Amino acid sequence: MLEGIIVKGIGGMYEVETPQGRLRCTLRGRLRLTMDRVLVGDGVKVSLGGEGTGVVEDVLPRRNELIRPAIANIDQVLVVFAVRNPKPNLLLLDRILVQAELMDLASVVVLNKADLNPQGAQELKALYASIPYPTITASTVQPQGLEELREVLQGKVSVLAGPSGVGKSSLLNALSPELKLQTGQVSEKIQRGRHTTRSVELLPFGQGYVADTPGFSQLYLEPGQEDTLQFAFPEFARYRDACQFRGCLHRQEPGCAVLKALEMGKIAPSRYEHYLTLFQEVLPCY
């Protein structure tokens, strides 16, 4: 039996990268019973068929798994947004960052299409770099940020997450033209991409892998995390211990050091507002 990694899955067929090259595989019956028994990124054991085919016999234990995009065993999330066309949705951006933090995954913020709004790109970069997240302003049209991106991807398994039309596939093409990933226009009128990328795919990149994924516009956090949510906001960390009450959730509590930092302009208003929005969302439902 061979060990390999699932790099793509479409309609019950899976492509598995193995030491003997890429195999087209089906799943052994019992693995077909539950839908997310196998994900792109899973390590698997494969029995060889003929002519580049095989059967996935077993799935190795998972290190982690992201819900959206659905992928397993990743090292970091590149949160990709365009600074214009489509207009950046910062609540969605913060949601993705929070999802990654709650899973203990490293994130890099990528602000693409800097050519369309250089000033907006610098402002957003200042916001996210101060949290601090590694933040890259990029453009595939007036090339910039590409070498920084290449460095960040080196030797890791990375996933590109973000809305449709922000340029995830374009960025990968700019780094590796041989990938020839399909890209699509953004509708100016409705400010939305056309969902050009249809499935998650892990692409070999240098010593690592990078996953191109379909853009998405919604993401819901799981309820029951109201106590842990604050830890997904790294910029709260340096104030939290100075709150008057232990277990302060930084909403209206007296003597809250996070609220004070917000008032003094040390925490970005958009981030705090999104904390409150997401707090409502993760309250347990009765």
Ligand X SMILES: Nc1nc2c(ncn2[C@@H]2O[C@H](COP(=O)(O)OP(=O)(O)OP(=O)(O)O)[C@@H](O)[C@H]2O)c(=O)[nH]1
The dihedral of CA 232, 233, 236, 238: what is its sign? Answer: positive
Q: Which does 250 bind (CB under 5 to 8 A by kind): ligand X, Zn ion, Mg ion, none?
A: Zn ion
Is 23 a binding residue for Zn ion by CB under 5 A? The answer is no
Tell me if 18 sits within 8 A of 46, measured CB to CB.
Answer: yes
**Shortest gap between Cβ of 155 and Mg ion (angstroms)?**
23
User: What is the contact mask toward Zn ion in residues 242 to 261, using x (rule: CB under 5 A)?
Assistant: -x----x-x-----x-x---
Other Cβ atoms less than 10 A from the Cβ of 173: the count is 18
**Three-state SS at 253:** coil
User: What is the contact mask toward Mg ion in residues 173 to 202, using x (rule: CB under 5 A)?
Assistant: -----------------------xx-----
Cβ closest to Mg ion, residue 117 vs residue 196: 196
Residues whose CB is less than 8 angstroms from the CB of residue 168 and which lie 6 or more positions away in sequence, other chains included = 80, 160, 162, 197, 212, 213, 215
Tell me the C-alpha distance between 128 and 32, whole Å: 42
Binding residues among 173-212 for ligand X as defined by CB under 6 A? 183-186, 193-197
**Shortest gap between Cβ of 191 and ligand X (angstroms)?**
12
Tell me if 73 sits within 8 A of 157, measured CB to CB.
Answer: yes
Question: ∠ CA(193), CA(195), CA(200), 5° rounding?
Answer: 135
Question: Among 112, 169, 173, 225, which residue interacts with Mg ion (rule: CB under 5 A)?
Answer: 169
Is 140 a binding residue for ligand X by CB under 6 A? The answer is yes
Is 149 a binding residue for Zn ion by CB under 5 A? The answer is no
Cβ closest to ligand X, residue 141 vs residue 242: 141
Q: Which residues in this chain contact ligand X in the complex, by CB under 6 A?
A: 112-113, 115-116, 139-141, 164-170, 183-186, 193-197, 214-215
